[in-house]
Chain A
């Protein structure tokens, strides 16, 4: 089944404790992206990648890191999480930029 998977789905952590949210797609998509969703603000793009080893900042990259060492995986890293990073995070992939995005199920992160 074609899909985007994210793990974990739910995470509660404390300020400053490094964490990684994994994202994997099995559709051989070149474009992958991370978003955060907050009430009243819609989805805001954090980082995107147009291919392996190519990553670019979205609208809200501060406090986040990504890597794209393999085509299928695009992990999101929070080196030192803070409470303002409490949010619902979505990973998405597509064949190319501007194409239909396929979204993962989301990761609900709470930083205490």
Chain B
């Protein structure tokens, strides 16, 4: 079964709006990462947040982590058409296994 589950499955917004997506996971983690994938291409790393961190920023990206609720959120502010992609969270366990969620498809219209 998948460790990470993203919500919503799909999101459609207009340029300039903020996009928020959530990731929930089931077991204890070391790190949680967010990746972006443009259609059919390899995933690109966005941000990594460690289990002892609560919030992290990178440019227009803001990630939060709540280990008590086993959840994380990714916020993209002032979205652009180029942000159109699928976004995945990934968690790793102590043994080295990495698990991805099914992803959130984001469409940003001009």
Contacts and interface: CB of A to CB of B under 8 A. Distances in A.
Range, interface on chain B: 20 to 34
Interface stretch (A12-20, A36-44, A67-75): A36-44
Contacts of A88: 40
A109 B102 CA distance: 20
B98 interface: yes
Nearest to B91: A98
Interface in B1-54: 2, 4, 30-31, 33, 35, 40-45, 48
Which residue of A40, A90, A92, A101 has the most chain B CB atoms within 10 A of its CB atom?
A101
Contacts of B96: 31, 48, 50, 56, 97-98
Contacts, number: 70
Interface in A37-93: 40-45, 48, 50, 56, 58-59, 88, 90, 92
Interface of A: 4, 31, 33, 35, 40-45, 48, 50, 56, 58-59, 88, 90, 92, 97-106, 108
Interface of B: 2, 4, 30-31, 33, 35, 40-45, 48, 88, 90, 92, 95-103
